[in-house]
A and B are shown apart, each in its own frame.
Chain A
Amino acid sequence: MMIVDRRPNPQGKSLPNRQRFLARVKAQVRRAVADSIDRRRVSDVGADEEVKVRVAGTGEPSFRQAGGADGDYVLPGTGTLNRGDRIPKPQGGGGGRGREGADSGGGEDAFEFTLTREEFLDCFFEELELPRLTRTEIGEAILSKPRRAGYSISGQPTALDVRRTMRNSLARRVALRRPDGDELAAAQQEVEDAVAAGDDSRLAAARTALDLVLRRIARIPFIDPLDVRYARHERVPLPAQDAVMFCLMDVSGSMTEHMKGLAKRFFMLLHLFLERKYERVHVVFIRHTERAQEVDEDTFFRSRETGGTVVSSALTEMLRVQSERFPPSAFNIYVAQASDGDNLHADIAAVTSLMARILPLVRYFAYVETGQGEEERFGIARGLESNLWGTYRAISEGGAPQLAMRRLSELRDVWGVFADLFRKDPLGATP
């Protein structure tokens, strides 16, 4: 009898099975994830919360008999039943009871399960990426990662490749005819036999032979330093993909709570996305009314402010930060801007000229215009193009493939607009 303690074994043995299962129900998982994002409050997006996924259609078919046929069932009774007693059939059971009853019906195989946060985010940002992220410059901090590259004759003891080493050793031993255990045993046996036979000349010959075998064994080592091989790794440099994302948000008085909620939610998604997918993306938060300032993450998402709207202030601030810290030769530059579209009429010219400077610098400029939701649903505001939208549309039509524009008016659309803007094929993202 043997007792084995399996508890320290690696956990999560069924993880690969789970991944296969998740891949199978991907569509349903994604829908649940999108739903859950819409239900959450701004501050909760990405928070530690379980997402329940209800899946169906993962049934495993098999040939089985339908219920409802004739049958006899011997069951544990109550002691009060007598021949001829009639018991109404259970509702919906389709006739069969007991063992058979449990099997009939139930073809639908729906159940709920819970996603971990990791799985949730993975699924969430799968198939999204920053468009046109290209290798900009192999900077001073060169990233590299090790890669297997054959074998070498020197290396660290931990990298010793036993298989290779033993293979060489065996080949050398065979080539040099190092006597193996059988040969040694045979020679020794011969000496013993000769001693037993009392034949002196045979003994002398046997002794010489044994001596030769022993000397060969001593001369030819089992493992020679020549045999030893180490696994070799070489470091391959990785191209640096330094990127910076500027988040510009309008927080002026014309932005209603609803609009701010939309914008914040959008940026939260963006922030979560960047944090998750890119280790080396810098994020700069800029909010503006008629003045713009760079703020930290917390202020950006949580604090309130009101005032007028001058969009060019944000663009100026962005350019200032960019020229100070993020040269376009070293960084992929991205901009995401959210606004209700209101802007001072006098500001249009400034915006246009600033955009003319900004657009050549950036890989992608995503503009999200938040709407009032209700108004649009009832068609009140339809057809009216906002000031900023018009400005950007003119720029875009003048040939600016980096500029993408989307309208966003309902909470439930946040994820759709976001996914649309950052879909893997950047060409599809430009209107």
Chain B
Amino acid sequence: MTLLFEGAEWDFAKLDATFRACEEIAVGELGLSVYPSQIEVITSEQMLDAYCSVGMPLMYRHWSFGKRFARDELLYRAGMQNLAYEIVINSNPCIAYLMEENTMTMQALVIAHACFGHGHFFRNNHLFRQWTDADGILDYLAFARRFVAECEDRHGLAEVERILDAAHALQGQGVHRYLRRKWRLSDEEQRARERQKYEDESYNPLWSTVPGNAPPASGNSTVNEARAVLNLPEENLLYLCEKHSPRLRGWERELVRIVRVLAQYFYPQMQTKLSNEGCATAVHYAIMTRLHESGQIGNGSYLEFLASHTAVTRQPTLADANFSGWNPYALGFAVMRDIERICTEPDEEDARWFPAFAGNNDPWGTLRGAWAEYRDESLLRQFLGPKVMRAYRMVNLMDRAADPALVVTEIHDDSGFRRIRSLLADQYDPSRATPLIEATDVDLAGDRSLKLTYSSRHKQRLHDASAKATLAQLQVLWGHKVTLQEIDAESGRVLGEMRAEG
């Protein structure tokens, strides 16, 4: 076969030829299925732009994106932070950004990684299929941006910012963790418009002059009544505010909804960082190696690819000065490669650990299954093998508040493998990263105050100052007093109570 390209310079013809060569391998040999791709060539400044609006090609306007830009720009200019080589968006068509500064080898790597690796994962993983609507997201973003701009015109920047700030603070609590129904984002704009129309039509100035109801004598609202009316407990606080906040106006509810929809859209990404990157890295490695074997890229390019691949998949040990936790590229890639190996060249240990697929000689079929059906936590639980644990010399450190030292409790030996695997999988459990906070009661008969409950596990407490500031933001949305109670999930003991501050 002839070389697809030589040297570092890229042009559009080369990009096109390389994409086709990658496609042949990805679809033909690896059996991947992806959305149609749209490759966009951008400058580094545009990459910074995209970075700061959470990777989205168009986003509504908010100061926090400007802040991120100001900070990242300085870091980037000072050379303290490298830009990503690519950004890929879970949409149909799947949009992948390539930076113009990349060499042709890097462009090929990025095409293989983003368009085929991430593209396949987005299209096939069950979380993305359930939670995100790739067809609608771009239109929805355009709508969100337009809607926010309209609100800024109608109601002023400060008013809009007040709501967006508050909603942003609660993004982590703006997610339904359990499936209700699939989003059809194309319906969203229609719905928003109807709500606005209804408001405009039903506006009656007469009501604004009627004095409000005198507050009823503070009755003893029972938790059960509130539970029934508001469907409590509710973990999605943004949803609660959008539907039931006594104070929000129609357009404000819509702003809350926009933030909530986007939070929900990103929810699968947080749970699949490791598997997604592992998938993309395994795919780009396979494609680039195939291209080299078939003589479509030269030795020089292949070496350049290997150098950057190795840099990306580097995993410092805990004794290393650069250690900052697990590198999702490294661990993900190692797990995928291990699955591949177990399928084709299993040894006796693998047969014991993975009887279901050891030696089935269908590595890509097995991988596709793993990418489709699992998230990080369950993927590790199912597929992390002793070889990978040994390779990274995994150890478990036990951290007890009373103990001034960390204690090694498990190491990578026969008696430790299963425990290590289970503990590592726990680490990727999303319920560990985001605290479980639910709205448990509203004083319906009295002052309408909202009560939240934080169920603490492993004696984890909330970060005090930031929780109080977040409560203040929630108070903006709810319009009445908000309190939070920290409760130990196991014993039911009350650990503390706080109210809004700052």
List the interface of chain A (C-beta within 8 A of B): 1-7, 9, 11, 13-14, 16-24, 58-66, 68-79, 81-89, 95-99, 101-102, 104, 107, 111-114
A-B pair number, CB within 8 angstroms: 260
Nearest CB in chain A to that of B325: its residue: A98
Main secondary structure of the interface of B (DSSP, over half): mixed
Nearest CB in chain B to that of A67: its residue: B463
Does any Cβ of A come within 8 Å of B49's Cβ? yes
* Cβ–Cβ contact A97 & B397, under 8 A: yes
* Cβ–Cβ contact A65 & B317, under 8 A: no
- Which A residues lie within 8 Å of B20 (CB)? 1
- Which B residues lie within 8 Å of A13 (CB)? 46, 49
Does any Cβ of A come within 8 Å of B446's Cβ? no
* Cβ–Cβ contact A66 & B399, under 8 A: no
* Cβ–Cβ contact A78 & B393, under 8 A: yes
- Which B residues lie within 8 Å of A14 (CB)? 48-49, 52-53, 65-66, 69
Q: Which single member of B40, B73, B459, B470 contacts A61 (CB below 8 Å)? A: B470
Does any Cβ of A come within 8 Å of B346's Cβ? no
Q: Cα distance A267–B430 when bound, in Å? A: 61
* CB contact under 8 A between A74 and B396, given known A7-B41, A16-B61, A86-B407: yes
Q: Cα distance A83–B397 when bound, in Å? A: 9
- Which B residues lie within 8 Å of A88 (CB)? 404-406
* Cβ–Cβ contact B396 & A6, under 8 A: no
Could you tell me the distance in whole angstroms from the C-beta of B142 to the nearest C-beta in chain A? Answer: 14
Does any Cβ of A come within 8 Å of B39's Cβ? yes
Q: Which single member of B69, B74, B406, B410 contacts A18 (CB below 8 Å)? A: B69
Mark out the residues of chain B between 56 and 103 whose CB falls within 8 Å of any chain A CB in the assembled complex.
Answer: 61-67, 69-71, 73-74, 93, 97, 100
Q: Cα distance A5–B15 when bound, in Å? A: 12
Could you name 10 residue pairs across A and B whose Cβ atoms are closer than 8 Å? A2-B37, A2-B38, A3-B39, A6-B46, A58-B63, A64-B463, A64-B466, A69-B401, A69-B460, A76-B393
Q: Cα distance A71–B326 when bound, in Å? A: 16
* Cβ–Cβ contact B394 & A96, under 8 A: no
Q: Cα distance A70–B401 when bound, in Å? A: 6
Size of the chain B interface, CB-CB below 8 angstroms: 97
Q: Cα distance A247–B66 when bound, in Å? A: 40
Q: Cα distance A23–B49 when bound, in Å? A: 19
Mark the stretch among B1-9, B196-204, B289-297, B420-428 that contacts chain A. Answer: B420-428
* Cβ–Cβ contact B39 & A11, under 8 A: no
* Cβ–Cβ contact A77 & B394, under 8 A: yes
* CB contact under 8 A between A63 and B435, given known A69-B401, A74-B420, A75-B394: yes
* CB contact under 8 A between A4 and B41, given known A21-B67, A71-B458, A113-B70: yes
Mark out the residues of chain B between 375 and 409 whose CB falls within 8 Å of any chain A CB in the assembled complex.
Answer: 392-401, 404-409
Nearest CB in chain B to that of A108: its residue: B465
* Cβ–Cβ contact A4 & B408, under 8 A: no
* Cβ–Cβ contact A85 & B407, under 8 A: yes
- Which B residues lie within 8 Å of A20 (CB)? 61-63, 66, 157, 161
- Which B residues lie within 8 Å of A17 (CB)? 52-53, 61-63, 65-66, 69
* Cβ–Cβ contact B399 & A95, under 8 A: yes
Q: Cα distance A70–B411 when bound, in Å? A: 19
Q: Cα distance A59–B406 when bound, in Å? A: 31
B164-181 CB mask vs A (1 if < 8 Å, else 0) is: 010011111100000000
